Amino acid sequence: MRYKKHIYRLSREDFYQFLLQHQRGLELLSEGESFVEFALYEPIDDLEPLEVLTVEVLPPERAFRPIRVKNLMVLPPWLKPLVIRPGSAFGTGLHATTRLCLYMLQDFLKRGWSVLDVGTGTGILAIASKKLGAGRVLAIDVDPLAVEECMHNSKENHARVECLLAEPKDIGESFDLLLANLELEVFRRELLHLKRLFKKVAIFSGIYGRQELDEFLELLGQKPAKIKRLENWHCVVVKT
């Protein structure tokens, strides 16, 4: 973004008088014995600027990036940290299938929605849902180690996620949004169960290559709202 920067010079006495009246922020440029130079991003009535510069100001999202100092990470408030222990479960966020889900979640999840994460692994998607404003979040997996990791990571992230050892057929209710980062082989067995578990949106991931995508779409039997590809992995979003 471009702004006009107005540079002013006032005697010290006039400057402090001006400060009292102005009552807003300004950029102090230099303070001499008898004068003060300062800049404002709007003109002052009845005061001639020394010069007017056009300056490029980076939006805060570009100017303030995460900073790491040894084991400390400083983040701006619009970035949501996900702390995931590299344990024995799948889902540290490095894999393309997980990243695709994290991306789609930000496009489709609405505040307050209930979420079911099938095949939660470390719990990364369930925790992300909670951080993005989901209401109730249930995370299930058939691997007891994954359920343990999900519990550990949810606690670490202060995210209220219910982590359960279960598979889709054990779940008797439906959720606003379903996340399922699984494999085609699992989708072949589970897709019918999965389809009754969501009310609004489902995000399916873990589909590799064109051939798997074609088979998945045939199993699905409905037009997807969006398909996104990363490193030849596909993520399919369905809306009711």
Ligand X SMILES: C[S@@+](CC[C@H](N)C(=O)[O-])C[C@H]1O[C@@H](n2cnc3c(N)ncnc32)[C@H](O)[C@@H]1O
Beta carbon nearer to ligand X, 15 or 206? 206
> Could you say whether residue 176 binds ligand X (CB under 6 A)?
no
- Classify the phi-psi angles of 231: left when phi > 0, otherwise alpha if psi is within -120 to 50, otherwise beta: left
Beta carbon nearer to ligand X, 97 or 114? 97
**From start to end of 57-191, where are the E strands?**
67-69, 72-74, 115-118, 137-141, 162-165, 175-181
Instruction: In angstroms, give the least distance from the CB of 104 to ligand X.
Output: 11
> Could you say whether residue 177 binds ligand X (CB under 6 A)?
no
Segment lying near ligand X (by CB under 6 A), choices 1-9, 14-22, 66-74, 140-148: 140-148
Q: Return the bridge partners of 31, or none.
A: 36
Segment lying near ligand X (by CB under 6 A), choices 33-41, 79-87, 182-190, 219-227: 182-190
Contact characters 108-137, ligand X, x per CB under 6 A:
----------xxxx--xx------------
Instruction: In angstroms, give the least distance from the CB of 170 to ligand X.
Output: 9
> Could you say whether residue 141 binds ligand X (CB under 6 A)?
yes
CA atoms lying within 13 Å on the CB side of residue 61: 3
Segment lying near ligand X (by CB under 6 A), choices 71-79, 90-98, 211-219, 226-234: 90-98
Beta carbon nearer to ligand X, 109 or 146? 146
Contact characters 198-227, ligand X, x per CB under 6 A:
--------x---------------------
> Could you say whether residue 90 binds ligand X (CB under 6 A)?
yes
Beta carbon nearer to ligand X, 114 or 181? 181
Angstrom distance (rounded) from CA 81 to CA 118: 22
Q: Which residues of 163-174 are buried (b: 16+ CB within 10 A; e: fewer)?
A: bbeebbeebeee
- Contacts by 162-167 with C-beta closer than 8 Å and gap 24+? 162/136, 162/137, 162/138, 163/120, 163/123, 163/126, 163/139, 164/138, 164/139, 164/140, 165/140, 165/141, 166/140, 166/141, 166/142, 167/118, 167/140, 167/142, 167/193
Binding residues for ligand X, rule: CB under 6 A, are: 89-91, 98, 101, 118-121, 124-125, 140-143, 146, 167-168, 181-182, 186, 190, 206
